[in-house]
């Protein structure tokens, strides 16, 4: 059984060689054109960033080193007694490109659990961010929402998310634990261009330490077009429920959707910067609900499902968004709410715990490959016009 360090020691020299070859043999190869639309449109579609752990296909969705979410669900080890993917097996895959064995996964769980207690001095946090993030996030939850309630000690035989849910105070809820395992694993990386990943990469490229680099990413997550959307969706669905009453019909949902759009707001949980199909992460979380009758009886979860049945057609008719389908945030919060984790403001924190997997993976690669400080060329509108004329 390998440790994650030993697994990395095998992979790093290979990747270093790959980068060297790319630089020496193909440095002038053209990957695409830069259009004015790319520059004035938030760099959408521009192939301009190196990111090892995952690549997003507009139609198929995210692939982690080539594995789609259903492949990961089949191949990545779960927690003892659980069925869903866990953060450790996903982190191993993201970092090394290999599917870990059951024994390797358990060993990583133990290693993280052993480093997971909160330190006396905050500087120590920097040494082991990923392992300590759940304890930190759980302490914030307890301090804000249940002050004075004791936090259970880390169980060294439990996985990262199992311990996290325990420390949040929901450890006796096996279904919520499984949901959180799945959610945190599949939400762990979404290639490099999303706002939080890109922020980590940019700040990290100045050689700022991982704690500072990832803290910066959390500020990017705080925006409603990115990580805050998982709160916004639930608030919006609940307003819809209040407005349409007990009888949920497609027509009433359509009316509510149009009201939202006509007021100039976006429909939260729908659309995407790259995807052009329903998000496979949304589908995986829907499947989780479908396998549990108790969840199917929940009115908010029913509303999410029914909204999905009509929203794409409404958004197509509205005619603005390039992607009328749901993203992961269309459903993630409603399941947390069902299981009693009802504090919306905390949902983005969970996203933050999850995304550390991918962002910190890339920081490891940025250091292992010696990637340079990020510094794209910017242009003014006058400069663009001058370039077009020449």
Catalogue the active-site residues. 226, 272, 329
3-state secondary structure of 56: strand
Residue 286 interface partner, choices ligand MLT, ligand NMX, none, CB cut-off 5-8 Å depending on type: none
* Shortest-Cβ-distance residue relative to ligand MLT: 194
Q: How far is the CB of 173 from ligand MLT (least distance, A)?
A: 25
Q: How far is the CB of 275 from ligand MLT (least distance, A)?
A: 7
Is 181 or 355 the residue whose CB approaches ligand NMX more closely?
A: 355
d(CA 18, CA 82): 38
Number of residues that bind ligand MLT (CB under 6 A): 5
Residue 134 interface partner, choices ligand MLT, ligand NMX, none, CB cut-off 5-8 Å depending on type: none
**Largest Cα–Cα distance of the chain, in whole Å?**
68
Q: How far is the CB of 5 from ligand MLT (least distance, A)?
A: 28
Q: How far is the CB of 306 from ligand NMX (least distance, A)?
A: 17
Return the structure tokens found at 313: 């057609």
The upper half-sphere exposure of residue 114, i.e. CA atoms within 13 Å in the direction of its Cβ, equals 6
Q: What is the DSSP letter of 207?
A: T
- 226 is an interface residue for ligand NMX by CB under 6 A: yes
3-state secondary structure of 194: coil
- 200 is an interface residue for ligand NMX by CB under 6 A: no
Residue 199 interface partner, choices ligand NMX, ligand MLT, none, CB cut-off 5-8 Å depending on type: none
Is 131 or 217 the residue whose CB approaches ligand MLT more closely?
A: 217
d(CA 29, CA 41): 24
d(CA 87, CA 78): 9
Task: Find, among 87, 55, 88, 85, the residue nearest to 72 by Cα.
Answer: 85
Interface mask (CB under 6 A) for ligand MLT, residues 272-301, using x and -? -xx---------------------------
Beta bridge partners of 63: 55, 68
d(CA 32, CA 30): 6
Which residue of 190, 198, 201, 338 would you call a contact of ligand MLT, by CB under 6 A?
190
Site stretch for ligand NMX (CB under 6 A), options 178-186, 209-217, 299-307, 318-326: 318-326
d(CA 220, CA 226): 8
Q: How far is the CB of 180 from ligand MLT (least distance, A)?
A: 16
d(CA 351, CA 230): 9
Alpha-carbon Rg of the chain, whole angstroms? 22
Q: How buried is 50 (Cβ within 10 angstroms: 0-12 exposed, 13-18 middle, 19+ buried)?
A: middle
- 316 is an interface residue for ligand NMX by CB under 6 A: no
How many helices and strands in the chain, by DSSP H and E? 19, 3
Interface mask (CB under 6 A) for ligand NMX, residues 319-358, using x and -? -xxxx---xxx-----------------------------
Which residue of 327, 331, 354, 361 would you call a contact of ligand MLT, by CB under 6 A?
327
DSSP string, 147-175: TTPPPPPP-TTS-HHHHHHHHHT-TT-HH
Is 124 or 322 the residue whose CB approaches ligand NMX more closely?
A: 322
Which residue of 7, 182, 229, 366 would you call a contact of ligand NMX, by CB under 6 A?
229
Which residues would be at the binding site for ligand MLT (CB under 6 A)? 190, 194, 273-274, 327
Which residues would be at the binding site for ligand NMX (CB under 6 A)? 44, 225-227, 229, 261, 266-273, 320-323, 327-329
């Amino acid at each position: 059984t390998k440790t994650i360090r030993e697994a990395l020691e095998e992979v790093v020299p290979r990747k270093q060689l790959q980068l060297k070859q790319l630089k020496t043999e193909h440095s002038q190869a053209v990957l695409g054109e830069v259009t004015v639309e790319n520059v004035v449109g938030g760099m959408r579609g521009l192939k301009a960033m190196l990111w090892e752990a995952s690549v997003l296909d507009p139609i198929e969705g995210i692939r982690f080193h080539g594995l789609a979410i259903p492949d990961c669900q089949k191949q990545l080890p779960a927690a003892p007694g659980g069925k869903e993917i866990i953060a450790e097996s996903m982190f191993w895959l993201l970092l090394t490109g290999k599917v870990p064995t059951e024994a390797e996964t358990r060993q990583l769980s133990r290693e993280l659990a052993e480093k997971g207690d909160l330190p006396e001095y905050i500087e120590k946090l920097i040494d082991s961010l990923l392992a300590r993030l759940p304890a930190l996030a759980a302490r914030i939850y307890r301090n804000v929402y249940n002050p004075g309630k004791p936090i259970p000690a880390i169980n060294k035989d439990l996985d990262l998310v199992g311990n996290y849910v325990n420390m949040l105070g929901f450890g006796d809820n096996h279904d919520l634990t499984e949901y959180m395992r799945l959610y945190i694993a599949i939400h762990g990386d979404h290639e490099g261009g999303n706002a939080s990943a890109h922020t980590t990469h940019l700040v990290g490229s100045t050689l700022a330490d991982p704690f500072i680099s990832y803290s910066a990413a959390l500020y990017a997550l705080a925006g409603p077009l990115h990580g805050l959307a998982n709160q916004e969706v639930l608030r919006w669905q609940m307003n819809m429920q209040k407005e349409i009453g007990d009888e949920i019909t497609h027509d009433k949902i359509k009316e509510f959707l149009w009201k939202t759009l006509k007021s100039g707001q976006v429909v939260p949980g729908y659309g995407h910067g790259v995807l052009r199909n329903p998000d496979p992460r949304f589908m995986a979380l829907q499947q989780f609900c479908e396998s549990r009758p108790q969840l199917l009886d929940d009115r908010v979860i029913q509303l999410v499902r029914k909204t999905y049945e009509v929203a794409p057609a409404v958004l197509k008719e509205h005619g603005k968004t390039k992607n009328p389908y749901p993203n992961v945030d269309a459903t993630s919060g409603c399941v947390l709410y069902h299981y009693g984790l009802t504090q919306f403001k905390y949902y983005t924190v969970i996203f933050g715990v999850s995304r550390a997997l991918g962002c910190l993976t890339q920081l490891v690669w940025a250091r292992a490959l010696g990637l340079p400080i990020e510094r794209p060329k910017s242009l003014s509108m006058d400069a663009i016009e001058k370039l077009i004329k020449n």
